[in-house]
């Protein structure tokens, strides 16, 4: 769901024009950024899903701290708080919500490996609808997110720019880069080259 996470940012940027696109992109993968040091330390792990193909969605991610419901909410609030202090409350809220959207999108594709409480305290059931079990459907949905996000960004860029040819070309070029980058990441993800 790497492309799906990143694709949300340009769509949100089209409505929250005061928030820098780079900050929205960073927020969209904030939970995974925090996951990396925990993975490297062994606190969170990744295992092959039994009977799954190698590559796209073929794993169970034991990110019981960063990707628990409560952990994701806390990390998202922690990420949005400095943004609110530096750029205003609305920006902080947008950044926090984009960060938390990561958990919502993961809920759709992950197998049941998302706990409610950090560390899976109390042994409560884990959640995940498991769309990754159908990689083609998951890839189509991510591609739809990508096209929608790029289109919303392009449309907003045209609306806020002056109507000269250079502004239109810049908006179109930016949207094209979003699609090219997204297709590249999605292709690497589906083929198993990118996690």
> pLDDT tens for residues 80-119?
999 999 999 999 999 999 999 999 999 998 889 999 999 9
Number of domains making up the chain: 1
Q: What confidence score (pLDDT) does residue 133 get?
A: 84
The answer to whether position 195 is within a domain reads: no
Cβ(152)–Cβ(171) below 8 Å? no
Q: Domain span at residue 30?
A: 2-190
Q: Is the pTM of this model over 0.85?
A: no
Q: Could you say which DSSP state residue 122 is in? A: G
The answer to whether position 139 is within a domain reads: yes
pLDDT for 192 beyond 80: no
Q: Could you say which DSSP state residue 127 is in? A: B
Q: Could you say which DSSP state residue 136 is in? A: H
The answer to whether position 26 is within a domain reads: yes
The answer to whether position 140 is within a domain reads: yes
- Tell me how many degrees the CA angle 163-14-9 measures, rounded to the nearest 5: 135
Average pLDDT over the chain, rounded to an integer: 84
pLDDT tier at 195 (50, 70, 90 boundaries)? very low
The answer to whether position 51 is within a domain reads: yes
The answer to whether position 137 is within a domain reads: yes
């Amino acid at each position: 769901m790497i492309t799906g996470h990143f694709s949300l940012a340009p769509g949100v940027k089209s409505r929250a024009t005061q928030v820098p696109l780079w900050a929205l992109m960073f927020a969209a993968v904030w939970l995974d950024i925090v996951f990396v040091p925990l993975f490297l330390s062994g606190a969170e792990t990744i295992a092959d899903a039994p009977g799954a193909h190698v590559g796209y969605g073929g794993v169970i991610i034991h990110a019981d701290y960063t990707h628990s419901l409560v952990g994701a909410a806390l990390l998202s609030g922690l990420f949005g708080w400095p943004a609110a202090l530096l750029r205003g409350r609305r920006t902080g809220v947008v950044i926090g919500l984009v960060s938390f959207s990561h958990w919502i999108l993961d809920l759709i594709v992950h197998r049941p490996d998302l706990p409610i409480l950090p560390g899976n305290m109390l042994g409560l059931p884990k959640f995940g609808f498991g769309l990754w079990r159908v990689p083609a459907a998951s890839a189509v949905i991510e591609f739809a997110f990508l096209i929608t996000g790029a289109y919303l960004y392009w449309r907003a860029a045209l609306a806020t720019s002056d109507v000269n040819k250079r502004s239109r070309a810049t908006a179109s070029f930016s949207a094209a880069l979003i699609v090219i980058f997204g297709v590249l990441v999605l292709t690497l993800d589906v083929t198993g080259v990118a996690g």
